[in-house]
Amino acid sequence: ETGVTQTPRHLVMGMTNKKSLKCEQHLGHNAMYWYKQSAKKPLELMFVYSLEERVENNSVPSRFSPECPNSSHLFLHLHTLQPEDSALYLCASSQEIRGTNYGYTFGSGTRLTVV
């Protein structure tokens, strides 16, 4: 497999469920990201991991919990979500060198619907 792969592609969950989104990159990059894309809004950066350490958390509610066990894998754990959390969740990776991102690549995304 090449590039950035995300699973599942589609997810429907109830507000009391717990689920996880998975992202895997095969590019040898050292940084990974979670973005949220809602209808009629720009992509919103949620979390950044650089060298497996979380370096940014953009005021995301605690019902979203990221995990980066190694430089190739990134998870987003979801619990007690709200209907307004329904969106496309995109994972991305890049090679970060002294603050500049190279080869920024997105996965295909998980389309999440909260019912």
Partner 1 sequence: RKEVEQDPGPFNVPEGATVAFNCTYSNSASQSFFWYRQDCRKEPKLLMSVYSSGNEDGRFTAQLNRASQYISLLIRDSKLSDSATYLCVVNIRYGGSQGNLIFGKGTKLSVKP
CA distances (Å), origin 99, targets 30, 31, 65, 87, 88: 12, 11, 25, 29, 27
Residue 6: its H or E element: strand 4-7
Taking the least distance from each CB to partner 1, the nearer of 42 and 83 is 42
> Is residue 71 near partner 1 by the rule CB under 8 A?
no
Measure the CA–CA gap between 7 and 61, rounded to whole angstroms: 22
Q: Closest distance between partner 1 and the C-beta of residue 80, in Å?
A: 27
Number of residues binding to partner 1, judged by CB under 8 A = 22
Sequence length of the chain is 115
Piece of the chain touching partner 1 by CB under 8 A; list 19-27, 65-73, 78-86, 101-109: 101-109
Contacting partner 1 (CB under 8 A), which of 64, 85, 107, 114? 107
